[in-house]
Amino acid sequence: MSNKNYAPLTEESAITLAKELAYFTAEEHVTCEEIGDGNLNLVFRIKGFERSIIIKQALPYAKVVGESWPLSLKRAEIESHALRIQGQYVPHLVPKVFHEDHDLAVTIMEDLSHLTIARKGLIDGEDYPLLSTHIGTFLAHTLFFTSDFGLHASKKRELDSQFCNPDLCDITEGLVFTDPFGPYETNNFEPALQEDVEQIWNNVSLKERVAQLKYSFLTHKEALLHGDLHTGSIFASETETKVIDPEFACFGPIGFDIGQFFANLLLQAISREEERQAVLFTHIETTWNVFSDTFSALWHQHSVDAYTTLDTWRIAVLANIFREAVGFAGCEIIRRTIGLAHVADLDGIEDETRRIHAKKQALKLGTALLLHDVNTVDAQFYDRIFKTIK
Ligand code: ADP
Ligand code: MG
Ligand code: MG
Ligand code: MG
């Protein structure tokens, strides 16, 4: 490892670094607060007289159930590189990167503290009317322009080689695709769910579908993924949306990012009473509609592959993306319910009876998504899926 000057920053040394880099003058009174959750990375917010910045630093390990799991510091470089690429296509939807230091595994970026993390806002009852339009746009641009439809194959191969991210892909492969589907130690669920969990573990068709999806994630290097597009990686307000935290970025199947986003909206829907779910279903439909319309428009205007003149091919590509997105959403819902990393949407339901009921619904919905044979994006699809959780 080449990070010879690496040491984890403290609130004091973060200020020193920010001043050395001239974000603040030497005399300026600045405050610094570590605002990350501290499991994988440190996040410092440094505020001076006129401006504030964020310094995110990777730690060389992840704290997982009390133990340390070594993790390459290269993911800081992956994260800042991904932010810069996304910034070329959708500058209004990602934080600006000001500086990166690979030795220190540091990215210095725009402070987005005026926005709220979407998961938290949704839990608190916010609607974010533009969230799905913005995320559909983010997905279409970042995924189209890094795929063979929007980027010459030789350039795409070169880009792919810059996103070799084995440690973080290993986390996804284990925690999303393997462990929740068998009796692995990393799983974490209430005893009241035992029977529902065993039904999943004993369902051979479901496991075969998960195996296909895992194999697609491993082998199908379609486009540069964000890789961790849950609602905790999105800052939102009534008018703005910013996608953060692409440290899991790697080449993979386009449906993966879309499916993770769908799943986290569905997990939020499950946590709510029925009257307040519709807005989230609408967000899912809008995300897909904006994604597919924008992806199609980019295909017509900016495609680089000879076969993109065939419109039937575009339709087939989009149908496959949708089918995989639905399956990936199923994996994500199940792993967020019984795997290692849960979501506050469900775990935060204080009443135990309600919480267990919601988690059982989540497992039912995840199963339905994995077993659903979606050949086309027909209007009844949403109805049928959403009825599963009613
Ligand atoms: P991790 O990879 O450890 O999950 P994140 O990039 O998701 O780190 O950041 C963790 C938290 O730090 C976020 O939930 C948010 O509260 C805060 N944060 C991260 N980036 C910014 C930013 N650019 N502006 C303001 N706060 C941020
Ligand atoms: Mg602190
Ligand atoms: Mg994060
Ligand atoms: Mg992260």
Which of 58, 89, 110 is the endpoint of a domain?
110
Q: Which residue among 33, 43, 63 is best mutated to probe the pocket of ligand 1, counting the most ligand atoms within 8 A of its Cβ? A: 43
6: in domain: no
2: in domain: no
CATH of the domain at 60: 3.30.200.20
258: in domain: yes
**pLDDT single digits (tens) 138-175:** 999 999 999 999 999 999 999 999 999 999 999 999 99
Residues 62 and 127 in one domain: no
Burial of 342 (0-12, 13-18, 19+ CB in 10 A): middle
Domain that holds residue 18: 11-110
Whole-number Å distance, alpha carbon 36 to ligand 4 midpoint, is: 10
Closest atom of ligand 1 to CA, residue 40: 3
Residue 247 assigned ligand-binding role: yes
Which of 63, 86, 110 is the endpoint of a domain?
110
Residues 301 and 169 in one domain: yes
Cβ of 109 below 6 Å from ligand 1: yes
Q: What is the pLDDT of the chain when averaged over all its residues?
A: 94
3: in domain: no
Closest CA to 121 of 286, 288, 238: 238
Residues 143 and 75 in one domain: no
Residues 85 and 126 in one domain: no
Residues 90 and 125 in one domain: no
Give this complex's ipTM. 0.97
Distance between CA 356 and CA 361 in Å, rounded? 9
Which pLDDT value is given to residue 139? 99
The total domain count for the chain is 2
Q: What percent of the chain has pLDDT over 70?
A: 94
pTM given for the model: 0.96
82: in domain: yes
Going from the C-alpha of 180 to that of each of 189, 229, 287, 336, 357, the distances in angstroms are 10, 19, 27, 9, 19
Closest atom of ligand 1 to CA, residue 245: 6
Residues 121 and 57 in one domain: no
244: in domain: yes
Which pLDDT value is given to residue 62? 84
Instruction: Give the pLDDT band of residue 5 (cuts 50, 70, 90).
Output: confident
CATH of the domain at 266: 3.90.1200.10
Which pLDDT value is given to residue 387? 64
Which of 77, 110, 143 is the endpoint of a domain?
110
Q: Which residue's CA is the closest to the ligand 1 atom numbered 1?
A: 41
**pLDDT single digits (tens) 243-302:** 999 999 999 999 999 999 999 999 999 999 999 999 999 999 999 999 999 999 999 999
Three-state secondary structure readout of the chain: CCCCCCCCCCHHHHHHHHHHCCCCCCCCCCEEEECCCCCCEEEEEEECCCCEEEEEEECCEEEECCEEEECCCHHHHHHHHHHHHHHHHCHHHCCCEEEEECCCCEEEEECCCCCEEHHHHHHCCCCCCCHHHHHHHHHHHHHHHCCCCCCCHHHHHHHHHHCCCHHHHHHHHHHHHHHHHCCCCCCCCCHHHHHHHHHHHCCHHHHHHHHHHHHHHHHCCCEEECCCCCHHHEEECCCCEEECCCCCCEEECCHHHHHHHHHHHHHHHHCCCHHHCHHHHHHHHHHHHHHHHHHHHHHHHHCCCHHHHCHHHHHHHHHHHHHHHHHHHHHHHHHHHHCCCCCHHHHCCCCHHHHHHHHHHHHHHHHHHHHCCCCCCCHHHHHHHHHCCC
